């Protein structure tokens, strides 16, 4: 029962009693409610598909729909920009503006953010995929704030050219609703890491130094001078996707490897590799401290390989494996220069003992 079906006297009697009631939106029947969306163009809804939405609850408090419209109007909101899941609520809000005699704001319904596995990205499937949903998580996982803003801005939008890296000011200048896509945008974690990597590359070593030092201390690496850590940053900068990578992926800067990547060992360490590494180590032992630089280290390796009639990879790859424990990393001879003569020679000797 409602006030439209009861006699007027009965309605007044009930209103005058303690009987609880709600106030609903009276939706017209057999009408088309049409409005222009800034992204989707003209959108229309048939009124017979809408319910008579509760506006005031029995306790006198407004529901979201009434509060939303009144709040936006009293604050002078000119544009309502929200997700497309609210598109179905738009005709109810249009009716409310009409009934209250107010001019509705412009509306724009953004595309949903989609899961890499398909469907809307919800908290549940985001957790299952390891995608952070809380700002605090992005801070703890050391994402660059500017990279995250840049990445999110490009979800469902583009500036209309080939640019991918835009500062916040540039995003503000370039953004327009007419370039927002109507279809959902897939949240690609690999793309976010790519953005993060680009922003790290564009930062000066001196700006990254305090944060790298902090992470190094957290991993138990204390007392390293600024010059050493700055060189670590310089050598790892093109490979790091997060601040933590400078230490986690570059642990060999701080301690000698105790194990070696099995795939790299199978690929690089052959029957005669141990003797070849030993000969190179012996050459390095004879160098004076003033000759310990990347250029001279490379020259010594090239000379040995030329004498043997061997290609560069026959020694460079095993040497890298011996020094870092892995088959990839920054420029080998820069790494050796930074580690120093004693440490480099010790690592080469240890690898020969372990690997044969």
How large is the C-alpha radius of gyration of the chain?
Answer: 33
Q: How confident is the model at residue 4 (pLDDT cuts 50, 70, 90)?
A: low
Q: How confident is the model at residue 3 (pLDDT cuts 50, 70, 90)?
A: low
What is the distance between the alpha carbons of residues 221 and 294, in angstroms, rounded to a whole number? 25
Pairs from 72-77 (Cβ < 8 Å, separation ≥ 24) = 72/105, 73/97, 73/100, 73/102, 77/105
By C-alpha distance, which of 236, 191, 194 is closest to 328? 236
**Over the stretch 32-49, which tens digit does the pLDDT of each residue have?**
999 999 999 999 999 998
Q: Which residue numbers are catalytic?
A: 123
Region 336-343 average pLDDT: 96
Provide the mean pLDDT of the chain.
92
- What per-residue string of b and e applies to 36-45 under the rule 16 or more CB within 10 Å gives b? ebbbeeebeb
Return the structure tokens found at 169.
Answer: 């000011």
Q: How confident is the model at residue 209 (pLDDT cuts 50, 70, 90)?
A: very high
Q: Are 24 and 55 in contact (CB under 8 A)?
A: yes
């Amino acid at each position: 029962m409602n006030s439209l079906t009861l006699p007027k006297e009965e309605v007044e009697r009930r209103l005058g009693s303690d009987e609880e009631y709600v106030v609903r939106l009276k939706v017209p029947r057999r009408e088309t409610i049409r409005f222009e969306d800034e992204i989707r163009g003209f959108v229309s809804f048939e009124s017979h598909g809408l319910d008579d939405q509760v506006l005031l609850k029995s306790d006198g408090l407004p529901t979201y729909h009434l509060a939303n419209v009144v709040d936006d109007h009293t604050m002078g909101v000119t544009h309502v920009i929200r997700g497309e899941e609210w598109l179905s609520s738009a005709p109810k809000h249009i009716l409310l503006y009409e009934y209250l005699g107010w001019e509705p704001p412009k509306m724009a319904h953004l595309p949903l953010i989609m899961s890499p596995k398909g469907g809307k990205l919800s908290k549940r499937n985001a957790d299952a995929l390891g995608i952070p949903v809380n700002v605090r998580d992005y801070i703890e996982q050391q994402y660059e704030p500017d990279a995250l803003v840049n990445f999110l801005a490009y979800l469902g939008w583009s500036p209309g050219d080939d640019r991918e890296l835009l500062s916040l000011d540039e995003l503000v200048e370039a953004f327009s609703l007419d370039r927002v896509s109507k279809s959902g945008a897939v949240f690609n974690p690999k793309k976010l890491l790519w953005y993060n990597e680009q922003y790290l590359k564009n930062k000066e070593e001196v700006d990254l130094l305090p944060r790298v030092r902090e992470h190094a201390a957290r991993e138990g690496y204390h007392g390293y001078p600024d010059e050493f850590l700055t060189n670590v940053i310089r050598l790892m900068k093109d490979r790091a996707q997060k601040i933590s990578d400078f230490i986690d992926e570059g642990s060999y800067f701080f301690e000698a490897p105790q194990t070696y990547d099995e795939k790299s060992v199978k690929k690089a360490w052959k029957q005669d590799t141990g003797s070849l590494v030993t000969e190179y180590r012996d050459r390095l032992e004879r160098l004076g401290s003033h000759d310990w630089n990347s250029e001279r280290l490379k020259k010594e390796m090239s000379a040995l390989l030329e004498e043997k009639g061997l290609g560069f990879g026959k020694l460079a790859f095993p040497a890298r494996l011996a020094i870092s424990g892995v088959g990839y990393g920054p420029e080998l001879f820069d790494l050796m220069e930074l580690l120093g003569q004693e440490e480099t020679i010790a690592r080469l000797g240890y690898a020969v003992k372990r690997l044969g």
